Structure 1
C-alpha cells in the first residue's frame, strides 16, 4: 500500500459530470468545463475530458458520476445524460488508475469535517450521501415514495421548483431535510447542488455547500487514506 506522502505526490485530475456541464480540475490549473446534456454518452464524455486535459499532466483520475456506481463502473444509466454509461469501463478508456464514485458522495467527501455527515444535493434531481466516521456511503433517497405517489425528487428537484413554485418547493425542502435528519441522525447536514442559491435560509442543523468541494473530494480520495470508500 502506498503511504500518504506517496499518494500526495500523485498528480490528480478530478472530474465532475453534471446534467448541464462537464467540469475538470487539477491542482494548479484553472477549472475547465464544457456542456454535457441529454445526448452525452460515456464515450463522448471520455473524449471531452481527454481534450480539455490535453495539456495537463496527471497520473490518476477521480470522476463524480450522477448515478449509482458498483465496482468502479456505472450500475445504472443516468437520468439526465445520453446512453451507454451502464457498465462502461472508464479505467480501460483512460488507461490510468481511476476512482469512479457517485457525484453526491464526491462532494460529501470534500465537505466532510468528521463525525456523521449527511449530504443532500439539490439539483436537477436529488443527490444524497453520508460519511460516517470516515466511511463514505452513497445513498439513493431521491426515488423513494413521498406524497401523492410521487418521490422526494419530484418535490425538491428542479422540476418540483418549476412545477410548484418557490414557496412550496422551499417548504418541501425543509420537510424532506427534517425527515432525513430524523431517520439518519447526522451530526450535521450539508446542502449543495445547483439549486442551493434558491434557499435564502437553511433548515436547522444545515450548512451551505459549495459545488467546488466536489473537486476537493476527488483529490481527497487519493490523498487521505483515512477515507474509506
Structure 2
C-alpha cells in the first residue's frame, strides 16, 4: 500500500485497562477495517503486552507506521506510570521502540487520552478531554497544542478517593449508574472550576453511560473510536514536535 491508494496507512493501537483495540487508518484517519479487540491480560507485563498486541495486529491489513495510546504517563517513548498494570514493572519500559521493532515499522507513543483528544479537538481555546473507562484519563489542549500532562487520575477528588477510585469502572459497578452519574456531574463542576475550559469532551467506554440530557452546553460526549483514529495526528510533524517539546514524544 502507498500514498496513491489512500496511504500512508497508520496502525492505531489503543491500550486500555480492560481491552486492547486496534485498526488501520487511511490518510484521512478513517478505519479501513472494523477495529479488532482482545481483553487486556490481568496484571499485564511489558513483554506480554508486546506479544498480545502483535497477535492482535496479525489479521489486520498492512500498514506503514504505528500510533500507540497508553493509559498512563509516557515520556520520550517510555512508560513513566502504568496504574492499571503495575508501575514498578513498567517504569522506563521503551514501549515505542519495542513495538516498532516487533512490528517492523516506525512507532509513536503518547498518553491514550491525549491521542483521543487529537481526534476530537477543534484547535480553538482551552479544550479538555476526560476518558471514563477502567480509570479516568485526562488531556488538556490550548489552541490545539498539547500542554504538560496533568494526571488527574491519581489526584484526590472526594475525601481520600482519587478520580480513578471515585469514577472508574469498579466504582460504577459498585454504586450503580444513577449515583455514578451524580459523581460524573460533580467531577464536571470541579474540573470547570479548576481549569475554566472552553469545551470539555468526555470519551472512553463508560462515556455511553453518562446522562447526556443533563450535560452543560460546553460538555460533549465523543466516540470511543477516537482513541484509535486520533493516532493519525501523531504523524503530523507539528503535533509530534509539540509533544516532544513537553516530553510526551519519543526520539
Q: Same fold (TM over 0.5)?
A: yes
Output the CA distance in 1 between the equivalents of 2:190 and 2:144: 23
Counterpart residue number, 1:88:
93
Equivalent of residue 105 in structure 1, options 97, 114, 119? 114
Counterpart residue number, 2:224:
211
**Relative to structure 1, is the Cα distance of residues 20 and 81 closer, same or farther in structure 2, using a 3 angstrom cutoff?**
farther
**More helix per residue:** 2
Q: Which consecutive unaligned segments of at least 5 residues does structure 1 have?
A: none
**Residue 83 of structure 1, CA deviation:** 7.3
SS of 2:238's equivalent in the other structure is: coil
Equivalent of residue 154 in structure 2, options 135, 140, 143? 143
Counterpart residue number, 1:57:
62
Q: Deviations over 1:82-109 (max 9, x none)?
A: 9743222234323232211111111111
Q: Which consecutive unaligned segments of at least 5 residues does structure 2 have?
A: 26-31, 244-251
Q: Deviations over 1:66-87 (max 9, x none)?
A: 1111111111233247974322
CA RMSD of aligned residues (A): 2.3
Instruction: Note if 1:134 corresponds to 2:144.
Output: yes
**Residue 16 of structure 1, CA deviation:** 0.4
Stretch of structure 1 that moved more, 100-109 or 138-147: 138-147
Output the CA distance in 2 between the equivalents of 1:29 and 1:165: 34
Contact 1:39 1:83 in 2 (8 A): no
> How high is the TM-score relative to the length of structure 2?
0.80
**Residue 184 of structure 1, CA deviation:** 0.9
Output the CA distance in 2 between the equivalents of 1:54 and 1:196: 29
Q: Deviations over 1:37-64 (max 9, x none)?
A: 3232221222222233236322221111
**Relative to structure 1, is the Cα distance of residues 42 and 197 closer, same or farther in structure 2, using a 3 angstrom cutoff?**
same
Q: Deviations over 1:136-163 (max 9, x none)?
A: 2332112212222222322222222233
**Relative to structure 1, is the Cα distance of residues 223 and 65 closer, same or farther in structure 2, using a 3 angstrom cutoff?**
same
Output the CA distance in 1 between the equivalents of 2:19 and 2:162: 25
**Relative to structure 1, is the Cα distance of residues 59 and 84 closer, same or farther in structure 2, using a 3 angstrom cutoff?**
farther
Aligned residue pairs, count = 223
After the TM superposition, which residues 1-229 of structure 1 pair with which residues of structure 2 at under 5 Å, given as runs?
Answer: 9-27=7-25, 28-54=32-58, 56-80=61-85, 84-93=89-98, 94-95=100-101, 96-115=105-124, 116-137=126-147, 138-201=149-212, 202-204=214-216, 205-223=218-236, 225=238, 228-229=242-243
Contact 1:177 1:203 in 2 (8 A): no
